Amino acid sequence: MTSAPDRAGALRRDAGNPLRDRRSLFTIPEGTVYLDGNSLGAIPRAVPGRVAQVLTEEWGTSLISAWNSADWIGLPARVGAKVGRLLGLPADTVWVSDSTSVSLFKTMVAACRLRPGRDVVVVERATFPTDGYIAASVARMLGLELRWADSDDLTASLDDRVALACLTHVDFRTGAAFDLPAVTAAVHEVGALMLWDLCHTAGAVPVDLVGPGVDFAVGCSYKYLNGGPGSPAFMYAAPRHHDALDQPLSGWMGHARPFDMELGYEPVRGVGRLASGTPPVIALSALEAALEVFDGVDPADLRATSLSLTDYFIELLDARLGAEVEVLTPRGHDRRGSQVSLRHQHAYGVVQALIARGVVGDFRPPDVARFGFAPLYITHADVYDAVEHLVQVVRDREFLREQYAVRNPVT
């Protein structure tokens, strides 16, 4: 790098970061600037050892009795409690078991059933696809209307027919965040329930769900929670809804007495009635170990570091590239998640050229390059280096090179 003074500035910022010691809890490949933790978080060092223990000691030695002796049966609630503490939620309100799509289906149906007589489900046009697809299925099965809202004028879609609004707190493409308390209040104002998708929030953008009285939340655990590829999602249900919770994937693990093997379904009391099948023990154990990186982290520090990283990225972009790239992500802190998205005509090529240089972001159609800043392991030096590479990719028009023109099936 040529601009030595600037990189020294990055290092000074890192030295002042209260979370600077956390990076050593992760394995980050040498020479990689990993700005894709908003798609798949890096692996916490504690994970392989914990998983090996589950396989070799628990499954291998205790076999079936590990359901009790290693408390496998307690994993969905135990991991849920760990996620809940990170999100500032009350005890016994979070459950972890299935994929995000499946978790959305369960909570959406349960929410709609709490508002009988109302016949509209609201989702936003910019939502992550699975939220819309699942909402469409829920609407079809419950005989409701699916209403698509525009994120810049949500209130236009709200009226007293709405049973549920399901919105994504941080937009996966742009990194823009909704004003969660205000939107929740507007949804409650018309008597509807509020389900927040926290996939791009949990682990990077602290939010208060209790104050605004959010009804439900779902979030994935393989992004900023670093649970590993395809790790199970979490579901939150406000305590006031627990007794009436009526979810459609009523498998045996949500029964009041699953091992009595009764013919009729009697749901357990509490958030555990969001359970369906046998819990995925290996994945839950990996996630439980992964969440240890948050032990003792002050959520305010998480947010401050995240904003410092994204501020610095935007500042360097402005200084080095000016109008050559368009920053899609809001510049105001109150509307920004933990990623910065750039719009560029050749966004796919830009991302591929950066990956070839060891700077990993990702592409989202049609023209967005995304860069996620996981506050526990991304440094200001990473940010500095990433921008230096981006400058070269843009100045030399590397994104036009032939090898970067073909779309991968997954990026």
Strands 145-149 and 94-96: unpaired
29 lies in the site for its own copies, by CB under 8 A: yes
Binding-site member from 258, 270, 299, 330 for its own copies (CB under 8 A): 258
Euclidean distance between CA atoms 88 and 83, whole angstroms = 9
Burial of 409: CB neighbours in 10 Å, binned 0-12, 13-18, 19+ = exposed
Q: Interaction with its own copies in 115-144: which residues (CB under 8 A)?
A: 125, 128-130, 132-134, 136-137, 141-142
Residue closest to 281 by CA, chosen among 118, 86, 76? 76
283 lies in the site for its own copies, by CB under 8 A: yes
72 lies in the site for its own copies, by CB under 8 A: yes
Q: Interaction with its own copies in 165-224: which residues (CB under 8 A)?
A: 173, 220, 222
Specify the stretch interacting with its own copies by CB under 8 A; choose among 149-157, 244-252, 380-388, 397-405.
244-252
Binding-site member from 17, 39, 174, 329 for its own copies (CB under 8 A): 39
Minimal distance, residue 36 CB to its own copies, in Å: 5
List, in sequence order, every residue forming a beta bridge with 237; answer none if it has no partner: 216
At 123, phi and psi to the nearest 5? -130, 165
Terminal-residue alpha carbon distance, the chain: 28
At 13, the amino acid letter reads R
Binding-site member from 11, 73, 268, 307 for its own copies (CB under 8 A): 73
Q: Both tokens of residue 94?
A: 């979070």
SS3 (DSSP) at 225:
coil
98 lies in the site for its own copies, by CB under 8 A: yes
51 lies in the site for its own copies, by CB under 8 A: yes
Catalytic site includes residue 243: no
Minimal distance, residue 100 CB to its own copies, in Å: 5
Given a contact cutoff of 8 angstroms between Cβ atoms, the answer to whether 215 and 239 are in contact is no
Minimal distance, residue 85 CB to its own copies, in Å: 23
Catalytic site includes residue 222: yes
261 lies in the site for its own copies, by CB under 8 A: yes
Active-site residue identified among 234, 370, 382, 399: 370
270 lies in the site for its own copies, by CB under 8 A: no
Cis peptide before 330 (omega within 30 of 0): no
356 lies in the site for its own copies, by CB under 8 A: no
Catalytic site includes residue 106: no
18 lies in the site for its own copies, by CB under 8 A: no
**Most distant pair of Cα atoms in the chain: their distance:** 72
Residue closest to 48 by CA, chosen among 214, 263, 226? 226
406 lies in the site for its own copies, by CB under 8 A: no
Q: Interaction with its own copies in 376-395: which residues (CB under 8 A)?
A: none
Q: What is the DSSP secondary-structure string of 227-245?
A: --TTPPPEEEE-GGGGGG-
256 lies in the site for its own copies, by CB under 8 A: no
Which helix (H) or strand (E) segment holds residue 251: the answer is: none
Specify the stretch interacting with its own copies by CB under 8 A; choose among 162-170, 202-210, 255-263, 338-346.
255-263
The H-assigned helical ranges of 3-86 are: 4-15, 46-52, 66-69, 75-86
Residues near its own copies (CB under 8 A), total: 87
Binding-site member from 78, 320, 364, 401 for its own copies (CB under 8 A): 364
Which residues are tagged catalytic?
128, 197, 222-223, 370
